[in-house]
Amino acid sequence: MDFTTLKFEAAEGIGLVTISRPQALNALNSKFFEDMDALLTELAARDDIRVVILTGEGKAFVAGADISEMAHKTKAEARKFSFAGQKTFRTLERLDKPVIAAVNGFALGGGCELALACDIRIASAKAKFGQPEVNLGLIPGYAGTQRLPRLIGLGHALHLILSGEMIGAEEALRLGLVQKVVEPEQLLPAARELAAAIAAKGPHAVRLAKRVIRRGLMMDFEAGCALEADKFGSLFEDAEAVEGMTAFLEKRAPKWPS
Mean pLDDT taken over the chain? 96
Q: List pLDDT tens digits, range 184-239.
A: 999 999 999 999 999 999 999 999 999 999 999 999 999 999 999 999 999 998 99
**191 and 209 inside one domain:** no
Burial bucket for residue 49 (CB in 10 Å: 0-12, 13-18, 19+): buried
Which of 9, 34, 77, 133 is the catalytic position? Answer: 133
| CA–centroid distance for 144 within its chain | 13
Q: In the predicted model, what is the mean pLDDT of residues 68-95? A: 95
Instruction: Please say if the pLDDT value at position 1 is more than 70.
Output: no
Do residues 141 and 229 both lie within one domain? no
On whether both 213 and 187 belong to a single domain, the answer is: no
* Among the listed residues 147, 151, 40, 57, the one whose alpha carbon sits nearest the alpha carbon of residue 99: 40
Confirm if 106 and 87 have CB atoms less than 8 A apart.
no
Q: Active site includes 170?
A: no
Alpha-carbon distance values, 203 to 207, 210, 254 (Å): 6, 11, 12
Residue 255 lies in a domain: no
> Treating both helix axes as pointing N-terminal to C-terminal, what angle do 30-45 and 75-94 enclose, rounded to 10 degrees?
20
* Phi, psi angles (nearest 5°) of residue 184: -50, -40
For residues 193 and 213, membership in a common domain is answered with: no
- Which has more confidence, 237 or 130? 130
Amino acid at 211: R
pTM, entire model: 0.96
- 164 and 234 in a single domain? The answer is no
Name the pairing type of β-strands 14-19 and 6-11.
antiparallel
Residue 254: inside a domain: no
Full domain range(s) for residue 210:
203-249
Residue from 12, 42, 113, 183 carrying the catalytic annotation? 113
Residue 139 and residue 86 share a domain:
yes
Does the pLDDT value for residue 158 go beyond 80? yes
Residue ending a domain, among 159, 180, 199, is 199
- What is the CATH classification number for the domain harbouring 93? 3.90.226.10
The pLDDT assigned to 16 comes to 98
Over residues 120-148, the mean pLDDT reads 97
pLDDT of residue 258: 76
Please give the DSSP secondary-structure letter assigned to residue 105: S
Q: What is the mean pLDDT of residues 6-28?
A: 96
Active site residue 113: yes
219 and 186 in a single domain? The answer is no
2 band by pLDDT with thresholds 50, 70 and 90 = confident
112 lies in some domain: yes
**Do 100 and 153 share a domain, yes or no?**
yes
115, pLDDT greater than 70: yes
CA distance 211 to 231: 10
Average pLDDT over residues 136-148: 97
